[in-house]
Structure 1
Amino acid sequence: MLARLSLLVALCLTLAGISPVAAGTLKQEQLRFPRVRAAYDSRLDVAKRLFEAKQLSWPPPPVFWRAFKQDKSLELWALNRETGKYVLVKEYEVCRLSGTMGPKRREGDYQIPEGFYEFTEFNPASSYHLSLRINYPNSSDRILGDRKKLGGDIFVHGDCVTIGCLPMTDEQIDEIYLITLEARGAGQAHIPIHIFPTRLAGPSWEKLLEEAGSFSLWHVAQRIRGARPRSAEELRTFWKNLKVDYDYFEASKTLPKISVGEDGRYRFE
């Protein structure tokens, strides 16, 4: 009887898109590593208080991360199950940047990606303290980027150094890592991170469009490394596509369903 019940639970988790092994043992496996244990010792109570202050449950409800490159900001949002809307929990400062505004299109271009991604791996023994892998290149990148040499290994990590990632201080990544790990352990199979050049509204949006020409010069310079140059109009078109999601979330505090068309553009439902 117990075996049948266990099988039924495993089947339900699988149908929900949650790996029973990942949901049940990931945290235990992670806690074998000294840096993860130290993160829990130093930041767990702090993280719990962040959620309590917003009247949110712990372990976390579904979380959502949103980054703004020019603003050097990484936001943590969590779902309020009663309202069905996301609540801003905390804003972290990204401590360094590389490249310029605009998407990553090739290995070695020093660009931080822009677009809609997920965290896919937890690295407890990173060369940069702790790190969370971002699933770059996504379907859009594979269409719009250099298909022969897209690159990869994009992370949110510690140690405050970067050549295309989102680096944090070690104290910050401790907190970010354990919150994301707790969300995964609570059953969140897909943990989104949306990366924007800047806030796509008001003066910052207007300035971004005005300065697209100067940003395109950086992309033209990437020809030295073999990358195809990006025009100002190409950048503006790309950012206007990202803005659909930005505006939707700002208005509703909910996430749209995102897909990618054959042209590489994001589609929203």
Structure 2
Amino acid sequence: MSIPTLAQSSFKTQQLTFERVREAYDVKWENLQKELAKEQITGKFILYIAAYKAERRLEIWLKQSTQKQYKLFKVYPFCTLSGVLGPKLKEGDLQTPEGFYHIAAFNPKSNFHLSLGINYPNSVDLLRSANEKPGNHIYIHGNCVTVGCIPLTDEKIKEVYILAVEARNSGQNEIPVHIFPFKITDANLNKHLSAFPQYKAFWTNLQQGYAYFKKYRQVPDVTELMNTYQFK
């Protein structure tokens, strides 16, 4: 966790110069603050986002800097989903990526109301796509249409966007977004591998990150996991 700089502390101020962000704060922030207080989360917090494609579920986990463990704050259902289980392989395949990412862009003037871009393609995606174009522009966004993104509807993205702004403004430069094909229990893994056996090594690797967070309620250091990714 880096120490906030002047540029970081003014991030929220900058975002509030955009009409849609101001409107989101006007209609959502007061109630979000009450919900945060109910969970005994006051002041600055750190954000972790986990998404599960099969369950169509996006989870918001929060903790304060003095706390070791994250706690589940809110769950948002995907409004819709394109593609099937399995990672995104190339541009135009309609797949939602799977893997360990972070928020790389805040778009207050999105074509889909508000959006948070993830750093797809990451290094693993680039290796996997080989000679194919991997595609890009993967977002968590509003509206209810998608060709590989995670849409939540305009009302729900307002809350997620605000929470991301607050975390970023508090000095969290890298907000992790881990996208899993499903909740990777052993039972679920065995069930889904019957239809997608080609992803056994890849999903088993992802399972290590899933299991670590489930056990410790801490975000794993995914660098080593990403360096040992295996796929066909």
With the shorter chain as reference, the TM-score category is over 0.9
Secondary structure, in 3 states, of the residue corresponding to 1:107? coil
User: 1:174 & 1:260 partners in 2: Cα distance?
Assistant: 34
Aligned to 1:244: 208
8 Å Cα contact 1:95-1:167 kept in structure 2: yes
Q: Percent identity?
A: 39
Q: 1:148 to 1:211 in 2, by over 3 A?
A: closer
Aligned to 1:121: 105
Query: What amino acid sits opposite 1:57 in the alignment?
Result: T
User: 2:226 & 2:78 partners in 1: Cα distance?
Assistant: 33
* 1:35 aligned to which of 3, 20, 44: 20
Measured after TM superposition, the shift of residue 24 of structure 1 is 2.7
Measured after TM superposition, the shift of residue 19 of structure 1 is 5.5
CA-to-partner distance for each residue in 1:175-202, whole Å, 9 max, x for gaps? 0001100100011011000000111115
1:193-232 correspondence runs (5 A)? 193-201=177-185, 203-212=187-196, 232=197
Query: What amino acid sits opposite 1:250 in the alignment?
Result: K
Q: 1:262 to 1:172 in 2, by over 3 A?
A: closer
Aligned to 1:218: none
Q: Which has the higher helix share?
A: 1
User: 1:26 & 1:192 partners in 2: Cα distance?
Assistant: 18
Aligned to 1:54: 39
CA-to-partner distance for each residue in 1:56-114, whole Å, 9 max, x for gaps? 1234x111000000101000001244441010001111110000000011111100000
Aligned to 2:127: 143
Query: How many residues are aligned here?
Result: 230
Q: Which has the higher contact order (CA 8 A, sep 6+)?
A: 2
Give the unaligned 5+ runs of structure 2: none
Secondary structure, in 3 states, of the residue corresponding to 1:49? helix
- Give TM-score scaled by structure 1 length: 0.80
> Could you say what the CA RMSD is over the residues aligned between the two structures, in angstroms?
2.0
Q: Once structures 1 and 2 are overlaid, which stretch shifts more, 200-209 or 84-93?
A: 200-209
Measured after TM superposition, the shift of residue 26 of structure 1 is 2.0
Secondary structure, in 3 states, of the residue corresponding to 1:85? coil
Matched, 1:259 2:223: yes
User: Larger C-alpha radius of gyration, 1 or 2?
Assistant: 1
Secondary structure, in 3 states, of the residue corresponding to 1:190? coil
- Give TM-score scaled by structure 2 length: 0.92
User: 1:204 & 1:262 partners in 2: Cα distance?
Assistant: 22
Secondary structure, in 3 states, of the residue corresponding to 2:10? helix
8 Å Cα contact 2:205-2:225 kept in structure 1: no
Secondary structure, in 3 states, of the residue corresponding to 2:70? strand
Aligned to 1:222: none
Secondary structure, in 3 states, of the residue corresponding to 1:119? strand
8 Å Cα contact 2:4-2:170 kept in structure 1: no
